Structure 1
Amino acid sequence: MASLKRWLIGSPMETKRLKHEKLPKWKALAVFSSDALSSVAYATEEILLVLMLLGTSVFFYSLPIAVAILVLLLLVTLSYRQIIYAFPSGGGAYVVARDHLGTATSLVAGAALMIDYILTVAVSISSGVAALTSAFPSLLPWKVQIGVALVLLLMILNLRGITESATVFAYPTYLFIISVLVLIAVGGWQLWHEGWHGFNYKEHASAAHFFASGYSVFILLRAFASGCSAMTGIEAISNGVPAFRPNSSKNAAITMGWMSVLLGTMFLGITVLAAGFGVTPLEHKTVISQIGHHVFGNSIFFYLFQMITMLILVLAANTSFAGFPQLASIIANDRFLPRSLAARGDRLVFSNGIILLSILAIVLIVTFHGETHSLIPLYAVGVFLSFTIGQSGMLKKIWKDKEMRRATTILTIGAGTIVTGLVTIITVVAKFTQGAWLVIVAIPLLVWMFYRIHDHYEKLGEQLKLDEPEWARREKMLKPKVIIPISGVSKVVAQSVQYARSTSNDITAISVIFYEEEEQKLREKWEKFYPDIPLQVIYSPYRTILSPILDYINEVEKQANGSPITILMPQFIVKKWWHTLLHNQTAIILRFFLIMKKDIVIATLPYHLRE
């Protein structure tokens, strides 16, 4: 097993190598921005899917909706650049809220971000598989299995370490960026020469009667909320600032600027091409796939574009593998999540967080059968809630700090807070019946869980705290009473008795017999070797061992009146695993029943057999 682990994730790294596991900007862009950049592959489609409820005649509205999303992107980018500089330790909205809005608000932000990261993996993988099945329909029946396999592959790659996984993910990310920019350039050239032959303003004007009702406005808001999935993942850079090379804040802020420019250009370009070519969503054929077919035809370039899109959508999940473990470690250090999530593994990554994220994402993929459109409604609620909380906390910090209090900064972050707050409300209302209610229920449940975990750690710390009176009382305690369960007199028992003598002067051996005539023989042999140690023989007419031993120990525990008791269990260890099946496992079962008793120590003294 150990050799398989080394083969999969590599040799352990020394802690001092952590400072070398930092990312340059070009690698960090691939690691932290792949989710946001890859969302251009499905964000436009999500807008059109909602607009279809009003008919294709209103598809032109995808363009003003895209522009509105770009304005929102600009506001959030400017706000989060401020957060990066103000909180270089990472953690994003969670840390901002913790320091300036209180514990409860920070935990809501943390829960929202964690849910968003899990959904990012599930949505990205499902979208990647959808791109693959669009080009190769014969793989459609295996989409869930393919999705699960891809999550496991990403998990292994991330367990290998930050730098190594970043190198693997960097090249496909840049290949996708180049291919989308080429798609936009060639498609734009075709529209320029062939003319706009898709959805246009005239059709929009003829559809004006649709907007006499509130229902149509509601559909537009739903389309806007669905298109906002293009912005998921842009907060990941603020969560992972410590992963950047020095000067980490400056490098992270620059990388966020690059990401936003690329995201805005690609998203708007694809939306324009979809409208210009008159692309409508089809079952088992994505919008970006249809645009690719319009631009490249049935050539090899179309299939290459599909493979690259599939690859980036799969690798987009890596943003969560970079952000989720980092965020979970910060929350765990605050004692609101298990401490194991704060520990770095062999390869200096937060291995437990990576594994937990993978398991939860697989559960979602299996539960929703790998359907992107079923998962998308759950998306974006958490991320926009965290945007709103993060910017609110930043606004409060700036207002208190006179050096940071500038009118332009307050105006930018204030506008961002208001707009993202409105988007959160719109997203919740527009997607509530489609599944967003699950996220709304999940966030309070997660916050409740955080508080329960923290309460446990608080009580544990209080109970384990050692003060001088407690230390003095422990020092005066008598040596424990030792009870040795035996089945006979052997080398295994002799070793246990020898050890017991070194820890206590009060030793008792107990043995359970099924037949009364066995007692005399056992006592004679025991007294020959250990005449100074009492032997308690218990007759069990119903041939049970555990009940008589447990009853005896319970009685001794009552008489001990809180003094410690040690149950020293002799146990021989066989050479071959299958030999274990040939012997009773009384010691293991007895340990299971005694482990929860307050004043009883269970100790096993192994005796290793040669063969």
Structure 2
Amino acid sequence: MANINKLFSLKIRTLILGHPLSSHNAEEAKVGVGGGVPVFGSDIISSEGYAPDEILYVLLLAGTLGYAYILKISLVIVLLVISIFLVYRKAIQKYPQGGGSYTIAKAYLGENFGLIAGASLTLDYILTVAVSVSSAVENLTGIIPWLAPTGHKVLADCLVIMFMAWINLRGLKESARLFSFPVYLYIATLALLIGTGLVEILVHGVTPTAVATGHIASSSVSGMTWFILARAFAGGTTALTGFEAVSNGVTAFKNPSQKRAIQTLLILGIIVSIGLIGLTYLAGAYHLVPAEGNTVLNQLGLIIFGKTIPYFVLMGTAAAILVIASSTPYAGLPILLSLMARDGYTPRYFKNLGDRLVYSVGIWTLFLVSSVLVIVFHGDTHTMLPLYAIGVFISFTLTGAGLAKHTWKERGPKWQSDFAIFSFGGIVSFFVLLVFVTTKFMQGAWIILIIMPLLVLMFRGVHYVYNIEIQNLEITLEAADDFHKHVQKINRRRSQIEISDYRNKIIVPVYDLNLIVLKALIYAYALTPQVTAVHIASDPNRTEKLIKHWAEQHMEIPLEIVESPYRATVHDLLNYIDKVEKNGNFDTITIAIPEYVPEKLWHNILHNQTGQLMKLMLLFRKSILVTSVPYHPIPKKSLLIDSKVNPKN
């Protein structure tokens, strides 16, 4: 019956998430350039669609004079695109493990700036999901009136976010396969729109007054000012949100990963540059006025295509790509959190690969936090939008500044041109950031200025706790000598007894070799010499380090490595126990689980509670005994085992 239930649950899991992927197939689960564009570029591709609106909203404060500046501002934004492309190309070349702004800032500007970059990217990714999905659902309210009430809209937002999480839990290739068609169809239709519009203007000319829609708001502004130009430029740079995702996710590309990542970044830069220049030129030529519910893209579609099939394809794919844009954070944030986990700034379980070779804990976290954000802000895009671009421009600024500082210090061949490019990208990004903060401060940007320091403090707090734990658990010479003495003492006591006379077997699951494991091994060995330390090899690097450490410490107790190609730690341990039970001649089999007991209750959230899950799974095994060996942090100089403890046979 148990096997039937196990088989049924496995089939359900496979149906929902797909077949587990082996670690040996990691390369096959990665994406190429064709898949990288929709997975990592959907956010930036969708952003260029509403960038002309953001520019015109500000420029038209100066009246019709604003139309003369829209193309010039777009060209300056394209210069920034080129600079940022060159910045992130260098980042990808220097750091193939990914991390982008976080890695660069931490390496060249110091730990604090690295954490600021990590916090800004984390916020940006979360807001991207919330804003993209909310915007997409808002655009559907005219077609589906049921979505109009706030409660219905929030529910629809959360369901879409859940759907995107589910798709990404199935793996990068799965999401690339699903999203490629609508993304490439949108790009093709947008190219057709721009091409047809340019041909129409060249052949037939244009009469702006005949096609202008809406009205230009009256303003006390007399003529164009530098402040209006700065605000318009900052608004247009929303077309760059998502550009950093490729540098964060280099490891998600097939080999050669760096080359494919740079090619993907170049393609995205070309798409954004051509699309932005084309749309802003057409918007200026036709003197369009953006309005809520009637975007520049919609107006151009009606003017150039009319209500024909290409128009409906354009608007349909534009709505779809807003939803798909939330896939970029699902690809980027889990990788960023995994890198920060390896450095000890986020909980360690963020670096664990799930069944489908994606960082599933990061995906679940993004789903939960973005859903909460949508609920708190009632799914109102305009409330969340002021917070949207600040994070990404903090990361742009820190990346440019970090690489500029590194280039200045190294001064290698042709360093002057690199320094100029990196400095330009960092300075302009900082300028845009200042404009955003000053103009959007009262609209909600102040929230970012509060949340970001709190995130940085949280990262530092996690790092501090882990450092204390490492110091407390590190095996000292005294602890190692004490362990070996206890083993020798027990061996002398048992010298007249055959090992086959011991009918009780103890298995000690180990992840690393530390004081927790030493205490559990001494406890087990004091009861029986039939002790085996078992390591489930879900991470090859961790396994290699453990084997090396085990040999260096001359451990008398054997270590057995159990391969775990699908990273199912508990499942593989249970299978190992089944084999021991079937093949061994033991009266009892005991699983002695080493457990760390943190000093403070909240520290438990920094640990994945695998031991608790093991105990739960073994609870229903009648022939298996389970015991916990708790380890409470002690001063480093204290003895591992109290001298008063006298283990008996």
Give the alignment's TM-score, normalised by structure 2.
0.70
Larger gyration radius, structure 1 or structure 2:
1
Question: Could you list the per-position Cα deviations for residues 102-151 of structure 1 after superposition, in whole angstroms to 9, with x for gaps in the alignment?
Answer: 11111111111111111111122122223333555564334332222111
Structure 1: how far apart are the matches of 2:374 and 2:60?
A: 26
Which aligned pairs between 1:159-174 and structure 2 lie closer than 5 A? Answer: 159-174=169-184
Structure-2 separation of matches of 1:277 and 1:177: 22
2:191 aligned residue = 181
Structure 1 residues 61 and 390: CA distance shift in structure 2, 3 A:
same
The whole-number CA distance in structure 1 between the counterparts of 2:633 and 2:351 is 29
Which residue does the alignment assign to 2:206? Answer: 195
**1:218–1:430 Cα contact (<8 Å) kept:** no
Question: Which of 411, 417, 426 is residue 426 of structure 2 equivalent to?
Answer: 417
Q: 2:255 aligns to what SS in structure 1?
A: coil
Corresponding position of 1:383: 392
TM-superposed CA distance for 1:383, in Å, is 0.8
Q: Which region of structure 1 is more displaced relative to structure 2, 263-272 or 121-130?
A: 121-130
Indicate which of 439, 453, 476 corresponds to 2:448: 439
Please tell me the residue identity of whatever aligns with 2:174: E
1:343 deviation in Å?
Answer: 0.5
Read off the aligned partner of 1:92 and give its amino acid letter: G
- 2:156 matched to 1:146? yes
- The answer to whether the aligner puts 1:243 opposite 2:256 as a matched pair is no
Inter-partner Cα distance in structure 2 for 1:198 and 1:241: 48
Label 1:260 to 1:468 Cα distance change in 2 as closer, same or farther (>3 A). Answer: same
Is it true that 1:258 corresponds to 2:267 in the alignment?
yes
Instruction: Name the residue aligned to 2:298.
Output: 289
SS of residue in 1 equivalent to 2:323: helix
Deviations 1:310-358 (A, max 9, x none): 1111111111111111111000110000111111001110000011111
Structure 1: how far apart are the matches of 2:350 and 2:412? Answer: 37
Relative to structure 1, the CA distance from residue 407 to residue 502 in structure 2 (aligned partners, 3 Å threshold; closer, same or farther) is closer
Q: 1:342 to 1:198 in 2, by over 3 A?
A: farther
2:234–2:436 CA contact under 8 A, matched in 1: yes
Establish whether residue 7 from structure 1 lines up as the match of residue 20 from structure 2: no
TM-superposition CA deviations, 1:215-272 (whole Å, max 9, x none): x643443332222111111111111112222222222222211111110111222222
2:61–2:219 Cα contact (<8 Å) kept: no
Deviations 1:398-422, CA, capped at 9 Å, x for gaps: 2333445522222211221221121
Q: Cα distance 1:598–1:459, how it changes in 2: closer, same or farther (>3 A)?
A: closer
1:36 to 2:44 alignment: yes
Aligned length: 502
Q: Secondary structure at the match of 1:42?
A: helix
Q: 1:210 aligns with which of 214, 221, 236?
A: 221
Q: Please, which moves more after superposition, 62-71 or 239-248?
A: 62-71
Amino-acid identity (%) = 36
Q: Normalized against structure 1, the TM-score is what?
A: 0.74
2:282 matches 1:273: yes
Could you tell me how far apart the structure 2 residues matched to 1:502 and 1:252 are? 52
Shift in alpha-carbon separation, 1:365–1:55, aligned structure 2, 3 A: farther
Contact 1:198 1:276 survives alignment (8 Å): no
Q: How far off its partner does 1:59 sit? A: 5.0
Please, which of 227, 231, 247 is the counterpart of residue 240 of structure 2? Answer: 231
Deviations 1:365-405 (A, max 9, x none): 22223333222211111111111111111122223334455
Q: How does 1:455-494 map to 2 (within 5 A)?
A: 455-472=464-481
Give the drift of 1:51: 4.3
Say whether the 8 Å CA contact 1:130–1:286 is kept in structure 2.
no
Q: CA RMSD in A?
A: 3.9
For 1:450, the equivalent position in structure 2 comes to 459
1:309 to partner: Cα distance: 0.7
Whether 1:118 aligns to 2:129 is: no
Contact residue 96 and residue 394 of structure 1 kept, 8 A: yes
Q: Does 1:76 align with 2:84?
A: yes
After the TM superposition, which residues 360-379 of structure 1 pair with which residues of structure 2 at under 5 Å, given as runs?
Answer: 360-379=369-388
- The offset of 1:63, in angstroms, is 3.1
Equivalent residue letter for 2:21? M
Alignment map for 1:555-574 (pairs within 5 Å): none
Determine the C-alpha separation between the residues in 1 that align with 2:235 and 2:283: 16
1:375/1:426 Cα in 2 relative to 1: closer, same or farther (>3 Å)? same
What is the one-letter code of the residue matched to 2:383?
A: S
Q: For the residues of structure 2 that align with 1:382 and 1:53, how far apart are their CA atoms? A: 27
Kept in 2, the 8 Å contact 1:35–1:233? The answer is yes
Q: Which 5+ residue runs of structure 2 have no aligned equivalent?
A: 1-8, 212-217, 488-522, 528-614, 622-627, 635-649
Contact 1:134-1:285 at 8 Å conserved across structures: no
Alpha-carbon distance, 1:56 to partner: 6.2
Separation in 1, partners of 2:172, 2:525: 50
Offset of residue 473 of structure 1: 5.0
Contact 1:326 1:350 in 2 (8 A): yes
Q: What is the match of residue 222 of structure 1?
A: 231
Given that 1:29 and 1:255 are in contact with CA atoms closer than 8 Å, whether structure 2 keeps it comes out as yes
CA-to-aligned-CA distance 1:512-561 (integer Å, 9 cap, x gap): xxxxxxxxxxxxxxxxxxxxxxxxxxxxxxxxxxxxxxxxxxxxxxxxxx
| Residue identity opposite 2:386 in structure 1 | P
How far does residue 424 in structure 1 lie from its aligned partner after superposition? 1.5
Name the CA distance, whole Å, in 2 between partners of 1:414 and 1:425. Answer: 16
User: Contact 1:60–1:199 at 8 Å: present in 2 too?
Assistant: no
Report the alpha carbon displacement of residue 452 of structure 1 after superposing the two structures with TM: 0.3
Match of 2:314 among 305, 311, 314: 305
| 1:52, distance to aligned residue in structure 2 (A) | 5.4
CA distance in 2, matches of 1:210, 1:355: 48
Q: Which residue of 1 aligns with 2:215?
A: none
Per-residue displacement from partner, 1:455-478 (whole Å, max 9, x unpaired)? 110111111122232345567889
Distance in 1, matches of 2:98 and 2:417, equals 24
Distance 2:389 2:319 in 1: 21
Partner of 1:561: none
Cα distance in 2 for partners of 1:460, 1:241 equals: 31
Code of the residue aligned with 1:146 in structure 2: it is A
Letter in 2 for 1:371: D
- Which residue of structure 2 lines up, in the alignment, with residue 400 of structure 1? 409
For residues 271 and 470 of structure 1, do their structure 2 counterparts lie closer, same or farther at Cα, with a shift above 3 Å needed? same
- Cα gap change, 1:273/1:139 in structure 2, threshold over 3 Å: closer, same or farther? farther
Deviation digits for residues 295-317 of structure 1 (CA, Å, limit 9, x no counterpart):
22233433322211111111111
- Does the 8 Å CA contact 1:28/1:166 hold for their aligned counterparts? yes
The offset of 1:67, in angstroms, is 2.4
Q: How far apart in 2 are the matches of 1:212 and 1:336? A: 50
In the TM superposition, residue 180 of structure 1 has moved relative to its aligned partner by 0.8
- CA separation in 1, counterparts of 2:632 and 2:418? 60
- For residues 231 and 374 of structure 2, what CA distance do their matches in structure 1 show? 24
